[in-house]
Structure 1
Amino acid sequence: MTPRALIARLWREHVARYSADIAALVPVLALVAATGASYAWIMQQAIDAISREDMNAIALTPVLVIGATLLRALAMFSQAVLSQGLALKVLRDLQGAMFGKLMLSDFARHAREEPGKLVSRFTNDINVVSEGLVRGGQALIRDALTLVGAIGLMLWFDWVLTLLVAAVFALAGPPLQAIAKRARARTEAAQVQLGALSALLTESFGAARTVKTYGLEARETGRARSAFEERRKIAMRLARNRARSEPLLEIIGGLALAGVLFVAGLRVAGGAMSVGDLLGIVTAIGVATPAARSLSNFNTVLNEAVAALTRIFGLIDEPIEVKDKPDAKTLNLSEGWISFENVSFAYGEAPALSDVTFTIAPGETVALVGPSGAGKSTIFNLLARLYDANAGAVCIDKQDVRDVTLSSLRSAMALVAQEAALFNDSIRANIALGRPNATQAEIEEAARNAAADDFIRALPGGYDAMAGDRGANLSGGERQRIALARAFLRNAPILLLDEATSALDAGSEAKVQEALKRLCKGRTVLVIAHRLSTVRDADRILVLDGGKLTESGTHDDLMRAGGLYSGLARLQFSEPGTMGADLS
């Protein structure tokens, strides 16, 4: 998309809707420009009045200056408030559009880009666009009108000198365009590097325990310093590029002033213009020069904003692969049959499942077992349609999950992952995510089923206590039980459990296991099994290896078969204290 098209789209989709703000801002910017240009007229009138010894006009001059100054000051204050208000509304809308798109985007999109880089789009890119918006409004209206007003007065005072000044300033056009072009390319590189820096910081801070335990402080400090140095180099390149425009205009301004003084001297001496006209033109040049500098810098800032807008609209325009078909229907969940029919899937070029076929009956609890990377989590992802299968079909009650609406499909499932996902909100709110309209009594019942009610009530604030950032105020076992309570509250007919009791102590685990048995009754349950105790309770075990389904049966059947499962199970028993060891 061209810079012109990007700016037109920004105006059409995010700026034009605020017509009342624009209508209030434009006259204020025009007033700032008019009062600025008026200084040249006041100067010309004052000097001519002094030359004529007109005492009435001389007495009026201070009143005009003070009046113009006060009016300009009031207009500048209004301009700052109104322009920032409009820019902040537009930025809010852009951030909302980006966040909304990411919430609807494929799960694969989130897996592809680190959270730090995504955060950078909401902060750094937005800041660049913000500067472009604020300075753009000022430059395109205020400074442009100031320049027009100053030039108009100069033409009125003496057209010959005005054409001379215009010819000199025209020399600055080509080099300013070259500076702006370089700015766009360098800004895009700077925003990419800033996203990488944000990702590095997020990674290092998030792995604080590992950094401390393994003594990686020096390593991480070195990585950060290298990134900071790269950031400094890129920022300096941008600064040097920006710095070129003002000295260039300073030189051009000096040449213009030299030419004006020489030619004006000849014209005043010849009687073609008055001293008042000369000082009026000099004052107009003084008013016009800052406006011209602002316009030249705006060209650079505009190209930097265009680079940021390219990234922002690029994100907003990313296609969504996993979405409802135009004729998608609501999932009709009558019994709860789950079937994978010759399903194959790959993450990019990495195969994850190959021609997998199995059926799970309503009310059956099936455990998925296999080495790391065997495809267990992929089965969960395909069933919830976080990804679409490359081949074959995933069906629920004979309905292909690609033919039903995502909302109806996912509302039929509850997931408890190994790592509990908690938000920085109250305990009550975190549990209620399972069913937002649940009553307090239902939330407490879910917590009791998950063996969480007692510790929640012991917290300062009870159910109103804050979980903290990613559940930082709770222990690992407590976080897992909150997530499990959320699944109880959802009361979905299909349960996806990634060893939901693995983080619990022995006392809590016994309670939760009993509650899980009650919850699973009459429901279809898939469990990614890591511990033998969970596997033995399953109605059936599916053994995956290298993305293929290699074995299926009960614990006793598979032990007698002497395959991969038997080897994993015997390995646990062969090592003291490994009864709860990881089957993967």
Structure 2
Amino acid sequence: MTVTNRPSLSSRALYLRILRQLRPYWKVIVLAFLATQLAAMTEPMFAWLMGPLINLNFSSQAAQHVPAFLQPLADWLPHSPAGQGVSPWLVPSLIVALFLFRAATTFFSEWAAAWLSNQLVLDLRQKMYERLLALPVSYYDTHPAGLILSRIANDVGAVTQAGISVLTVLLKDTLTIIGQLALMLYIDWRLTLICLILLPLAGFSIRKVGQRLRGLNRQQQQAFGDMMQVMEEGVHGQKVIKVFGGQRYEALRFFGRANRVRQLAVKQTVASSGNSALVQLLLSIALAVVVYYAGLRSAAGSMTAGDFMSFITAMLMLSQPVQRLSRTNESLQKGLAAAESVFGLIDEPVEVDVGQQSLVHAGGQLQFRQVCFRYPHADRDSLDAISLTVNAGETVALVGGSGSGKTTLASLLPRFHDAGAGDILLDGIPLAHLPLATLRQQIALVSQDVSLFNDTVAANIAYGCPDASEQRIREAAEAANALEFIEQLPLGMQTIIGDRGNRLSGGQKQRLAIARALLKDAPILILDEATSALDSESERKVQSALERLMQHRTTLVIAHRLSTIEAADRIVVMQQGRIVEVGPHMALLQRGGAYAALWRAQFQEGHHAT
């Protein structure tokens, strides 16, 4: 597996970039922030109410303990049955009102967080998929599909943990901690200092564990991508696996990848749980010391029972947000590691597209001038000084053994790859001078490995021509010899053909691809071994459709079966990236060179097969 190595961004840079993705939704963020603030304020308020609750219900001088701003409410509520003291409903009423307010603000803040999280997932997935569609073919050559799918399906969800969930918890719990500490300082600053002494130790633990979790999450993303790759290969290669008895091998291969994911998940849990345990230990030590000294101060008359209760309540409630913040660090590091993966894909360089010359409908003349090309990490050129002119409307067949360069040469036309040296011209215009969309509009492709989509027959034929009328689609299907089998399908043109067209035969897939090319009506046609995997009956129908498709078009035919290209205007024979012979079929046979040798070899193979 090849993975792009990029400099690791700092946590701050990654987090700021996540937040920039949310900038368009700043109004929702502001409302969520206000709701979170209000919800956070309710916790220290509840702790503070414990003081009046104790003093009003357990003190002989209850009225003296009513805070001034509560006195109007105390006077309004009915007093005790004996007519002495304040109403016993005062503090309970405030507690109920406080929790109703807390429920409303918490509901709104959680709704806003969920809305923002899902919007962030949608935006990032859309950006990633659009970037995938714009990446060069070389990217797919070096990045397994499983890793790519894992990034879009899995990593994006983890980013929201850093983008929204962590931000919500961070804001709410930080405000809660500040509020509780302020209340504790107000009640007794000496006892509060005891708690503050232990906070740096908790912060140091959280920081160290965060670094460990960040590394583990990077490894888990890689492991998850490896597991997805094995799964994808198992699904798409299930026929080969069954025939060759590879079930046990594939099961063991998957177990190895899945077990690696499990091991890393356990390591993350151990690191996170260890950190939480340490934080809880520090809090318990602080609580024990505070309870001891608070008892001494209360016995000495320096602290009322209500103040003691408020202080202890605030301290106990302080432990929950502190623990949540320590656990939040796990989500933050996981989200930041995922953000590295997500933004790494979004930042991948797209296909070079600087052409500005317009071209409405090409005539179809192609010129290759000393074209060279070498794949990355290859030890020799796949194309070596290729020079060839293909006239408009001419059919030229490229033949040669495996690795001769014929498919590579054809792939340079739509600029799936760019030539390392030399020039390729269309109607005298260098391909690099044309925008990619303009260039590819002039080209249709029919290959052995037909790419169909899990959609209707009509949608697959009209792919790239969404405005095509039903009549035009039908005419293209008829010209491709596909209408006969289409009309026998359950819903005709509206039949869903399945994943990669798996509900159709090989010949039917090819005829749909030909119908798609016919509907596009491009002046240049590339046929990449379009009939090599078909039986005789299917080949006859497909070949007939191809002959209609090739009329009045410049056609490059990559062929393995030489019998299918006898009618080509010229045949180009390639060996090790070079052109060794060019000419029509009969002339090349009479010459007795490389083409004649290929012909004899195939004729003998066919003779022995019969």
Query: What's 2:54 paired with?
Result: 47
Q: Secondary structure at the match of 1:347?
A: coil
The amino acid across from 1:324 in the alignment is D
Q: Which residue of 1 aligns with 2:550?
A: 520
Distance 1:191 1:243, change over 3 A: same
Counterpart in the other structure of 2:30: 23
Q: Which residue, out of 327, 332, 337, partners 1:297?
A: 327
Matched residue, 2:588: 558
Residues 55-134 of structure 1 aligned to structure 2 (within 5 Å): 55-56=85-86, 58-134=88-164
1:9 aligns with 2:17: yes
Q: What is the identity, as a one-letter code, of the residue corresponding to 2:506?
A: G
Q: Is residue 83–residue 137 contact of structure 1 (8 Å, CA) maintained in 2?
A: no
Q: Which runs of 5+ in 1 are unaligned?
A: none
- Give 1:134 deviation, angstroms: 3.6
Q: 2:269 aligns with which of 239, 262, 273?
A: 239
CA-CA distance at 1:331 after TM superposition: 3.2
Shift of 1:528: 0.6
Q: Give the deviation of 1:105 after TM superposition.
A: 1.0
**Which deviates more, 103-112 or 560-569?**
560-569
Q: For 1:324, which of 353, 358, 370 is the aligned residue?
A: 353
Matched, 1:370 2:400: yes
User: What does the per-residue CA deviation read over 1:23-49, in whole Å, with 9 as the maximum and x for residues that have no partner?
Assistant: 221122122212222220111111121
CA distance, structure 1, for counterparts of residue 216 and residue 168 of structure 2: 24
* Cα 1:577–1:280 shift into 2, 3 Å: farther
1:309-348 → structure 2 map (5 Å cutoff): 309-320=339-350, 322-325=351-354, 328-331=356-359, 333-348=361-376
Match of 2:241 among 195, 200, 211: 211
Q: Which stretch has the larger CA shift, 510-519 or 344-353?
A: 510-519
The correspondence for 1:38, drawn from 45, 52, 77, is 45
Is 1:497 matched with 2:527?
yes
* Alignment equivalent of 2:182, drawn from 116, 131, 152: 152
Structure 1 residue 77: Cα displacement: 2.6
Cα deviations by residue, 1:377-405 (Å, 9 ceiling, x for unpaired): 11121011111100111111111101111
Match of residue 570 from structure 1: 600
Instruction: Choose which of 421, 440, 444 in structure 1 pairs with 2:451.
Output: 421
Deviation at 1:171, TM superposition (A): 2.0
Q: Which amino acid aligns with 1:348?
A: P
Whole-angstrom CA distance in 2 between matches of 1:153 and 1:58: 24
**In 2, Cα distance between the equivalents of 1:365 and 1:341?**
19
Deviations 1:42-95 (A, max 9, x none): 111111212424342532122122222232233333232221111110111111
Aligned-pair CA distance for 1:430: 0.5
Q: What is the rounded CA distance, in whole Å, between the counterparts of 1:357 and 1:578 in structure 2?
A: 37
| Secondary structure, aligned partner of 1:359 | strand
Which of 278, 301, 306 lines up with 1:248 in the alignment? 278
Structure-2 residue corresponding to 1:399: 429
* Matched residue SS, 1:551: strand
Give the SS at the match of 1:436: coil
For 1:324, what is the secondary structure of its paired residue?
coil
Residue 529 of structure 1 aligns with an amino acid whose one-letter code is: A
458-467 vs 22-31, greater mean Cα deviation = 22-31
Question: Residue 4 of structure 1 aligns to which amino acid in structure 2?
Answer: R
Over residues 543-562 of structure 1, what are the superposed CA-to-partner deviations in whole Å (9 max), with x where a residue is unaligned?
A: 11111111111111222222
Shift of 1:324: 1.9
* Deviation, structure 1 residue 268: 1.4
| Cα separation, 2, equivalents of 1:516 and 1:476 | 15
The Cα of 1:282 is off from its aligned counterpart by: 1.0
Q: Distance in 2 between matches of 1:146 and 1:57?
A: 30
Which of these residues, 420, 436, 439, is aligned with residue 466 of structure 2?
436
- Counterparts of 1:270-289 in structure 2 under 5 Å? 270-289=300-319
Q: Deviations over 1:211-233 (max 9, x none)?
A: 00000001001111111211111
Q: Is the 8 A contact 2:573 2:580 kept in 1?
A: yes
Query: d(CA) in 1 for partners of 2:482 and 2:464?
Result: 15
Matched, 1:385 2:392: no
Alignment partner of 1:462 is 2:501: no
Structure 1 residue 504, shift from structure 2 partner? 4.8
* Paired residues of 2:15 and 2:162 also in contact (CA < 8 A): no
Deviates more, 1:509-518 or 1:379-388: 509-518
| Equivalent-residue separation in structure 1 for 2:165 and 2:361 (angstroms) | 57
Secondary structure of the residue that 1:140 maps to in structure 2? helix
CA distance in 1 between counterparts of 2:97 and 2:210 reads 38
Instruction: Write the distance in 1 (CA, Å) between the matches of 2:552 and 2:479.
Output: 17
Name the TM-score, length of structure 2 as normaliser. Answer: 0.91
Q: Secondary structure at the match of 2:165?
A: helix
Q: Which amino acid aligns with 1:140?
A: L
Q: State the 1:567 CA deviation.
A: 1.6
CA RMSD of aligned residues (A): 1.8
Name the CA distance, whole Å, in 1 between partners of 2:423 and 2:361. 17
The secondary structure found in structure 2 opposite 1:244 is helix
Tell me whether 252-261 or 73-82 shows the greater mean CA deviation.
73-82
Kindly indicate whether the alpha-carbon contact (under 8 Å) linking 2:510 and 2:542 is maintained by their aligned counterparts in 1: no
Render the CA deviation track for 1:219-273: whole Å, top value 9, x for unaligned.
0011111112111111111111111221011101111111111111221122221
Conserved 8 A contact 1:333-1:397: no
Gaps of 5+ in 2: 1-8, 63-84
Q: CA offset at residue 576 of structure 1?
A: 4.1
Residue 516 (structure 2) aligns with: 486
Between the two proteins, the alignment pairs up a number of residues equal to 577
Any conservation in 2 of the 1:333–1:396 contact (CA below 8 Å)? no
The separation in 2 between residues aligned to 1:199 and 1:129, in whole angstroms, is 22
Distance 2:606 2:524 in 1: 36
CA distance in 2, matches of 1:334, 1:449: 23
Distance 2:451 2:607 in 1: 30
Counterpart Cα distance in 2 of 1:334 and 1:490: 14
Alignment of 1:173-188 (within 5 A): 173-188=203-218
Matched residues in 2 for 1:251 and 1:208: separation? 53
CA shift for structure 1 position 563: 2.4
Q: Decide whether aligned partners of structure 1 residues 195 and 89 sit closer, same or farther in structure 2, where only a CA change above 3 A counts.
A: same
